[in-house]
Amino acid sequence: MAQTAKSVLNDVFGYPEFRGHQQEIIAAAMAGRDTLVLQPTGGGKSLCYQIPALLGDGVALVVSPLIALMQDQVAALEQLGVDAAFLNSTLTSAQQRHVFEGLQNRRLKLLYIAPERLMQERTLEQLKACRVTLIAIDEAHCVSQWGHDFREDYLSLGELARHFPAVPRMALTATATKKARVDIVERLELADPAQFIAGFDRPNIRYLVQNKLDAKRQLLAFLSAYNGDAGIVYCMSRKKTEATAAWLVGEGFDALPYHAGLDATTRAENQHRFLNDDGVVIVATIAFGLGIDKPDVRFIAHLDLPKSLESYYQETGRAGRDGEPATAWMVYGLQDVVRLRQMIDASPANEAHKRSERVKLDTFLGWCEITGCRRRALLAYFDDVLDEDCGNCDVCLTPPEVFDGTEAAQKILSTVYRTGQRFGAVHVIDVLIGKSTDKVHQHRHDALSVFGIGSEYGNQQWRSILRQLVVSGFLSVDTGGYGALKLTEKSRPLLRGEVELSLRRDLLVAAKAKKPKRKGAVVAEEDQDLWEALRDCRKRLADENNVPPYVIFHDATLAQMVADKPKTPAALLEISGVGVTKLERYGPAFLEVVSLAEVEPGITA
């Protein structure tokens, strides 16, 4: 009997039903149609091209931007009994020959390949000699100049339409605005593609944003609820990732750094630890995470501000891929704003691109300062609609206090003006609160009428107000000089008292975050020994096969084993995530653990 998409889903992947648009996407690809697939992280995008690949009579090419992503996907497919391979710079000449032999004898069903390797003339000629049934372009937002992660290597992929004219192409991404989606279709030259746009909402992720006071102390307060959990801490610089990782180790966390400046061996070892061991915290630049499929990342923490809402959404989307509650926590302050604007102004990009980046940054800053539901505003940016407040962000959980900041704003603007619009935030605030410093005396600013007019607030409160004025466009920062504050046209009516201004009253102490309660993969106390025994069994098998534990089975699959306590192979096959190949390879070991627990409660594998 011929295989169907549903039978492959059941037998190979072990899932009982399709999710979202998966079935329609697969049908469109099988009918030879180009497709654009936008699904949130954890939404099952990879099945959309893996199942057509297994149903087709040939090989599917998967264009992927990162070596780690290729290796992760291929390892997972091999555990399912699927013949897959990747072509990248990590392979020896002999290994590359072996891959091409697999293509020539039509053994391989999926080949993962980087865009720059795929578009080499020799590679194209070799692939044209094979039967290519589908070309999937993963992380397709990388082709768009309006995307958050533009990559030059993706621009040439539009030529695939001419090299493989009869082969359907599928562009996939988790993050793209309406403008970026149009750009993807045009640049990849997709022919009247069927477009499948799923909602952007990740309801299991809690969004928390705090004013940056003492970033390390705030991070420690947040992490106090997550000791023993896997997570990622993002920093802007390589130096900061290493310093933060070392500091976290000193605080009792199993933390490792990751950035592009580390040697390849260290990067690979640290990534391996993160994927294979429980409770590892990676402190990284944005070089880490794209395509990482670890399902049980419980938190993402940002110690520095990302450059846009797209970047933030993409990075926070690496948490909670198993559907269980996770938290996206971030601190930011005025210095983040200044630094990002300096980076944009100093970049070699043309003025149109810089203008676009400034708009994105300003939009993100506005989101950071909102007093309404964060999730609704985040989804609205991607043209998605949430009908009611989410109840799972800091604004919903602890609505911010708002106060009339008109007079305070006028005091800051007057001080900036009276000091000549030549000084940064630190000096302006010193003058405001009447602080006698050498710099204040040097410029005789203690003789100004504005000296000490802001004594009702402390340094942190004034920094909060000043940040909000910069974000709101009443003040600009001279990014080309020394961060001098300058009045904008928008400030004139505020100074004249013609408009009123409401501001947020930021918390001035580090708040401890409450960890969201998990809704699944939690077992009853009497089943705890069985749960741990199954996890031990999974870890042993994962180590033997040199793959992360979740590649063997996800936590949700183990939790269902605990609940159902299957006694036969047929009963084990009924559990979501257990396919035919995994039943044959691992079924006996897990059935034995369940059987022993039934006979001798408390026994471990």
Domain harbouring 470, CATH code: 1.10.10.10
Q: How many domains are there within the chain? A: 4
**362, 439: one domain:** no
Residue 520 lies in a domain: no
Mean pLDDT, to the nearest integer, of 220-242? 94
Mean pLDDT, to the nearest integer, of 141-156? 78
**414, 396: one domain:** no
**497, 546: one domain:** no
pLDDT at residue 511 in the model: 62
**156, 227: one domain:** no
Q: What are phi and psi of 79, to 5 degrees?
A: -65, -20
Residue given tokens 């699959």 in the structure block: 557
Give pLDDT tens digits for 22-54. 999 999 999 999 999 998 877 788 999 999 999
Residue 605 has pLDDT above 50, yes or no: no
Which contiguous run of DSSP H or E holds residue 282? strand 281-284
Task: State the Cα–Cα distance between residues 357 and 335, nearest whole angstrom.
Answer: 18
The residue that leads in pLDDT, 280 or 91, is 280
Residue 88 lies in a domain: yes
SS (H, E, C) 347-382: CCCCHHHHHHHHHHHHHHHHHHHCCCCHHHHHHHHC
Residue 516 pLDDT class (50, 70, 90 cuts) = confident
**406, 275: one domain:** no
pLDDT at residue 1 in the model: 41
Residue 502 has pLDDT above 50, yes or no: yes
The last residue of one of the domains, among 197, 223, 246, is 197
Which contiguous run of DSSP H or E holds residue 100? helix 93-104
**394, 478: one domain:** no
Give pLDDT tens digits for 547-598. 899 999 999 999 999 999 999 999 999 999 999 999 999 999 999 999 987 6
**235, 369: one domain:** yes
Structural domain for 169, as ranges: 5-197
**549, 488: one domain:** no
Task: Answer whether 579's CB lies under 8 Å from 13's CB.
Answer: yes
Residue 602 has pLDDT above 60, yes or no: no
